[in-house]
Structure formats: structure tokens, C-alpha cells
Amino acid sequence: MAKLILAFNSQVIREYPLTRESMTMGRQEDNSIVIDNLAVSAYHAKIDKVGGEYILTDLQSTNGTFVNDEKVVSHKLSHGDNVVIGKHVILFVATEEEKLEAEEKEKRLPLDRTMLLDTAKQRELLAKQKVAPPTVKLPEKVGVISFIDDSGLGEIKLTKKLTKIGKAETSEIKLSGLLMGATAVTISRRPSGYVISFAGGRTKLKVNGSVVKDNVPLSDFDTVELGSYKFQFYQKEVKSA
Amino acid sequence: MQIKSCGMTDVGLQREGNEDSFSVEDRFGLYMVADGMGGHLAGEVASRVAVEMINKSFSKWSEQVVPLDEIFGFSDESLSREGNYILGSIRLANRVIYEMACDYEQYNGMGTTIVSLLVASGLIVAANVGDSRMYLVRDKRIERLSKDHTIVAEHAEMGVMTEEEAARSPLRHILTRSLGSSENVDAEVFEITPSSEDRFILCSDGLTDLATDEEILHLALKETDPQRLCRRLIDLALERGAHDNTTVVTVFLGEVEKKMEASFGRLGVVVADALNGASRIKRKLGL
């Protein structure tokens, strides 16, 4: 069985066999490996067994986790890896069998199969340890357009994935004007951010003064003109539900 | 709107079975790629069930114009009707695969990714769960219309890992979401408006593991028909060892008309500009 050797100032403190599917390291007493040192976070890092491999993950610790002098977020442990947490060093020692197996696997492309993270198991474990899940949710941002003309439309949040702007009754934002298209402009939310597209009608679309005939990505505080309408785009943080 | 499409799959050079499935349905403009996982044919079953279920429920709901409160699960107000049909169909497929995986021993632990493209009138809906991707090539640029549900992609989004580190990480194949692994699933859904000459590429990770976004863009710009593009992308994966099944679906749009309802000529535009100006002045004066 693989094991971890905890050392401080070149002094071996203890050995820990990797018996469990998941082991955590940190200052709090309910960790599998307790390291009582101020440089160590309450729940600093963990090691999961995934398909015969041991994966080290930093639990967004304050001072970081290092493997062989390199800062890591997640790392597949190999025999002889030096994991540094604060001033403590943890040496990862694989068994002969595992070493051979790992070499074999290396030849067959390691972890090339798609696997699913066992979230149920992970969640259960985290609940037991009262640790916030390592995947902290980013504050959700939502686009807002703020009319800076004299239309009195004010601020409108872009709550839809695709916001249609135009004369049609079905538009999310209805604008008037003889030459306004039924759908004149659309703003879509994509993986890369918000994009504004010209959709139709005879009213020109301008972003920061240049005419747009197709699409252009929107950045915070871009100014958009559509005929006599003028608005500014920006993104606002919202509390995720 | 004219649509040309093609789908191809290849078992690759190292796998014995093909667990990928794809679907090309020009009738309702629905295109999909699914990458299954789970041993003993279970992966193949999961990906096939996903594609078939989604085709079936989407076509049924859209033909009958089913009200949104009758689809599977709650409707999402940020999405169009079509977007909700897709979202509901993916949820339904997830539930079916999940229950099969629970009920039959040979299907325990099976799951699949899904990436789907809907081309409707004036609307494109892109949806995905897992790490199969969709790309849009427009104005000579490539853009992802899907979000990878992997540990590394989430790390990259949080900013604790760069995109390059994520692409090289040994953890890149570990999914955080898939169809069939839990009772409910959230799909990533994006909606955009189509543009003339848009080219969409849906693919399994057999391709994206071995080719960069830039390489895919380069081929997508060079090839003029969807069939040749599929072939070239799969050949690229094969040339590089194809350690996994590789599946590609390509969809090329023709001319997308931008409606110019106001059918004035040049003169009309001048008149209308003047009218526009007049209405602005009127508004300023508070009339």
C-alpha cells in the first residue's frame, strides 16, 4: 500500500498508509493528517484515489500546496513526490506493485478514459468534514444596459440568454422608430461573454461609434447607438440563488 | 435558410468499441454528439439512448407546440420556447439513463456527455453536459458555444489554472457532470442569432484532445463542404494516434437574411433619417 511520510526540518514525524479513498490534510483536528502549524490552512489539501492513481488537490489554501517546488492545484502523485505544505514536507511513497502499474499505465496513456467525478461520495465526505466544497462558486454576473438618451428607459437587466431588441411586440426590449427592425438587434450571452448582433431593419447599429453589420463582443462600458437610442453596457454582480 | 450538414464517427486506433453516438436531423434542425462511458457496451447504450430520447421528445414537443409547463422539469425563464424544449429533453434523457443504470446491473455506472445544436428560424440553441464541445466559426474566428464540465475547466474558470495547464492536466478527463450519473442534471444552454455562412462543429473529446481550437478553425475555413470537413477532422485525430473514439458533426448555414422590413430605397433612407431626426427633436421638446 502506498504511504505518506510526514517530515518537519528533515525529521520524520509519522507515516500514514493511504488506506482510504480520500484523505485530507490541515490544521483542524478532523483531518486525516493533522499538521498543527499556523502556515497550514484549516483544510489545506486532500488526496483522492481515482482509478488506481492518487490525486492531490489543494483546497484553496492560503499559502498553497507545492509538489517538488512547484505550486499545484491538482496533481497526480508519483513515487517520490515531495509535497510541501507550510514548512512541512510530505513524501509520497508508492509500493513496488503500484510503481510497476503506474509505469505500465504511463505506456497506455494515463487517465485517457473519460471518468466521472463521484460527486455524491465527495459531497458526503465534505459534509462530514464541514468543509466548503473546493469548487467555490464564482459570483454570477449579469449584463445590464443603461439608456443614456432621453428615452427614459433607464436600466434594463439582460436576464435572457438571448435578448431581442426591436419594434416587434415579442421583443424583450421594445423600441419605436419608423426604421426600427421588428428585431433590430440581439444581445446573446455566450461562454465567452456577451455579444451584440445586428438583426435587421434600417436603423444603424453603432458600438463605440463604429457601425456593426454582424456581431461584436460587448465589454463593460461600451456605448451602443441604435438610431436615436443610446445605451451603455456593463456587467453587474448578482447573488446567485 | 439553407443548411448543409454531415456526421461521422471513427472508433480510433486503440479502442475496441465505439461508445460515441451522433445524430443529424435536418428535418427539425437538431444535431447532436454524445460520448458514452461505462464498460460492457453500457457506454454505447447510454450515448445512443441520450441521442434518441432527445430527438424523440424535442420533435414531439415542438410539433405539438407543447406549453412550457408540460415539459419535463421546470421551464427556464431565461430561455426561448425552443431552448426550453432542448433543456427539458436533456433532463428527460438524463432521468431515463439514470434509471436504467440503477435498475440493471449491466448498466451500473453508465453515463454519457451530450452536445446539441438546434437551428431554428432566427435562433440557434446550443446545449451541453460534459466535455463534448461545440464550436462556431464566424467572421474567420472560432468560438466555443459549450462549456466543459470537467474539474480542470472549473479550475480554469476560477482562475487558479490557465487554459494551457488545463489542457495538459492529467485530470482533464474527469467530468463533474454527465447524463445518467444523478437523478437531475443542469445543462449549459446558450442562445444566439444565426448569421450567414455560420459553421458549427460538434465533437467528442477524441478530437479536442488531439487538436487545438486554432487547428480546427484552420480546417473549418479551408473546407467548403461539411462532409469534407468531417473527414479532415477525423483524419487529423487518426494521424495523431486516435486513442479514443472520435465523432464530428458539421453544420454549415447558407445565406441568413436580415430582414429589412422598411422597403425604402436610397431616398427612403434619407427621408427616414430625417424623420428619425424629427422624432428625436420632438422627444427633446417633450411632444
Over range B152-166, report the average pLDDT: 81
User: Distance (Å, rounded) from C-alpha B32 to C-alpha B42?
Assistant: 19
Among A218, A238, A119, A127, residue whose Cα is nearest residue A165? A218
Give the one of A115, A119, A161 whose C-beta lies nearest to B189's C-beta: A161
The amino acid at residue A51 is G
Would you state the cell numbers that stand for residue A68, as one nine-digit string? Answer: 517538488
Tell me what percent of chain A is helix, strand and coil, each rounded to the nearest 5: 10, 45, 45
Would you state the cell numbers that stand for residue A5, as one nine-digit string? Answer: 511520510
Flag if B176 and A179 touch (Cβ within 8 Å).
no
User: Distance (Å, rounded) from C-alpha B260 to C-alpha A213?
Assistant: 13
B143 and A CB contact within 8 Å: yes
At residue B282, the pLDDT reads 62
Angle at B96 between CA B95 and CA B101, to 5 degrees: 95
Query: Chain A residue with minimal CA distance to B15?
Result: A113
Residue B102 has pLDDT above 50, yes or no: yes
Flag if B37 and A116 touch (Cβ within 8 Å).
yes
pLDDT tens digits for range A76-125: 888 888 899 988 888 888 877 766 666 665 554 444 566 666 555 555 54
Flag if A190 and B192 touch (Cβ within 8 Å).
yes
For residue B163, count other CB atoms closer than 10 A to its CB. Answer: 12
Flag if A116 and B243 touch (Cβ within 8 Å).
no
Give the one of B122, B244, B269 whose C-beta lies nearest to A112's C-beta: B244
At residue B51, the pLDDT reads 97
Residues in B 83-102 with any Cβ partner in A closer than 8 A: 83
A69 and B CB contact within 8 Å: no
Chains A, B: CB pairs < 8 Å: 164
Give the one of A74, A183, A227 whose C-beta lies nearest to B151's C-beta: A74
The upper half-sphere exposure of residue B282, i.e. CA atoms within 13 Å in the direction of its Cβ, equals 8
Flag if A191 and B258 touch (Cβ within 8 Å).
no
Residue B250 has pLDDT above 90, yes or no: yes
Residue B264 has pLDDT above 60, yes or no: no
Torsion sign (Cα): B197, B203, B205, B210: negative
Flag if A116 and B80 touch (Cβ within 8 Å).
no
Rounded alpha-carbon distances, angstroms, from residue B261 to A67, A105, A137, A196: 64, 63, 45, 20
At residue A133, the pLDDT reads 42
Flag if B175 and A117 touch (Cβ within 8 Å).
yes
CB-count burial class (<10 Å; 0-12, 13-18, 19+) for A103: exposed
Residues of A in contact with B276 (CB under 8 A): 177-179, 203, 227-228
pLDDT tens digits for range A220-240: 999 999 989 999 999 998 765
User: Distance (Å, rounded) from C-alpha B10 to C-alpha B18?
Assistant: 7
Over range B108-125, report the average pLDDT: 94
Pairing of strands A115-116, B174-175: parallel
Number of helices (H) and strands (E) in chain B: give both, helices first. 8, 12
Residue A135 has pLDDT above 50, yes or no: no
- Shortest distance between the Cα of B261 and any Cα of chain A, in A, equals 6
Residues in B 34-93 with any Cβ partner in A closer than 8 A: 35, 37, 77-80, 83
Flag if B193 and A197 touch (Cβ within 8 Å).
yes
User: Distance (Å, rounded) from C-alpha A58 to C-alpha A134?
Assistant: 8
Flag if A114 and B173 touch (Cβ within 8 Å).
yes
Query: Chain A residue with minimal CA distance to B285?
Result: A150
Residues in A 73-112 with any Cβ partner in B closer than 8 A: 73-74, 76, 109-112
pLDDT tens digits for range B196-214: 999 999 999 999 999 999 9
Query: Chain A residue with minimal CA distance to B205?
Result: A114
* 3-state SS class at B12: coil
